[in-house]
Amino acid sequence: MSGAAVHVEHAGGVSTFRISNPGKRNAFTWTMYEQLERGVRELPASTRAVVLRGDAEDGFAAGTDIRQFSGFSGQDGLEYERTVGRVLDAVLAVEVPVISLVQRTAVGAGLALACCSDVVIAERGALFGAPIARTLGNCIPAAVFARLRARAGEANALTMMLTATLIPAERLEGTGFVFRAVEAGELDAHADELVRRILSSAPLTLRALKEMNRRITAAVPVPEADDLLLECYGSADFAEGVSAFLDGRRPEWSGR
């Protein structure tokens, strides 16, 4: 796990979190999840905007480092999703605008993190998805699926998940999930423009709008679905998916 970390920089009212796991497409380790959660919960009082991004060479974030799933039981899977859920809840609880800058891929936990952002700017050709039906055989929590449906639309979200398809930023721009799909090399310029706009806006208004949106979202209950997570994570198919991924081969699903 050498070099895997979430780096944070506070400057000029902006807290920038850089997801870094070189050679692993910025996949999250347990420590990286802890670093992100702690960082967003302990923002300086001077923070007016939060920016989430990955090391450019490896994209935004490719989910969780699969090696950490070896030997998982159904209960392990449930505890894992609860842990990640706490991290996502911490991002959702940030009182200032959260901006995700996406290059290359936002997959799995990377997709879930983008769904927790207020604004997503992505390079054209950047891919979003969670192809777990093709790769691992696990399942995403109801809260994550609900946010994906809200951001990308029910049909897009369901098609993305059922067909294990990665959807380009240009298509998601039409749904509003991606605020802007920009040319390669222009991401930082567009991000800087957006941050300047936020920094020049009334902070109490922005905070009130975020809280209002949170309350509206919370008014729609999300169904409990732990049984589905337990079934998938505790299955022979999930064990096969992890083994096949680590071996670099196609999984052989049994439906058990």
Domain CATH number, residue 30: 3.90.226.10
Q: Is residue 114 part of a domain?
A: yes
Q: Is residue 118 part of a domain?
A: yes
Indicate if the pLDDT at residue 121 is higher than 60: yes
Indicate if the pLDDT at residue 1 is higher than 80: no
pLDDT, mean over the chain = 95
Q: Is residue 216 part of a domain?
A: no
Residue 68 is predicted with a pLDDT of 86
pLDDT digits (tens, 9 = 90+) for 139-180: 999 999 999 999 999 999 999 999 999 999 999 999 999 999
Give how many domains the chain has, as a whole number.
1
Look up residue 250 and give its two tokens. 């196609």
State the residue range of the domain holding 21. Answer: 5-185
Average pLDDT of 236-251?
Answer: 95
Q: Is residue 224 part of a domain?
A: no
Distance separating alpha carbons of residues 60 and 116, to the nearest angstrom? 14
pLDDT digits (tens, 9 = 90+) for 75-97: 999 999 999 999 999 999 999 99
Average pLDDT of 246-256?
Answer: 95
Q: Is residue 202 part of a domain?
A: no
Name the DSSP class of 153.
-
Confidence of residue 197 (pLDDT cuts 50, 70, 90): very high
Which one is predicted more confidently, 63 or 205? 205
Distance separating alpha carbons of residues 231 and 212, to the nearest angstrom? 36
Look up residue 38 and give its two tokens. 């702690």
Confidence of residue 2 (pLDDT cuts 50, 70, 90): low
Distance separating alpha carbons of residues 38 and 208, to the nearest angstrom? 23
- Alpha helix stretches (DSSP H) within 93-221: 109-115, 132-135, 142-152, 154-162, 169-173, 187-199, 203-218
Q: Is residue 86 part of a domain?
A: yes
List the Cα angle 166/171/173 in 5-degree steps. 120
Q: Is residue 231 part of a domain?
A: no
Distance separating alpha carbons of residues 35 and 22, to the nearest angstrom? 17
Q: Is residue 166 part of a domain?
A: yes
pLDDT digits (tens, 9 = 90+) for 47-86: 999 999 998 788 999 888 888 898 999 999 999 999 999 9
User: Could you tell me what percent of the chain has a pLDDT over 70?
Assistant: 99
Whether the CA torsion 80, 36, 116, 210 is positive or negative: it is positive
Distance separating alpha carbons of residues 15 and 249, to the nearest angstrom? 40
Residue 56 is predicted with a pLDDT of 77
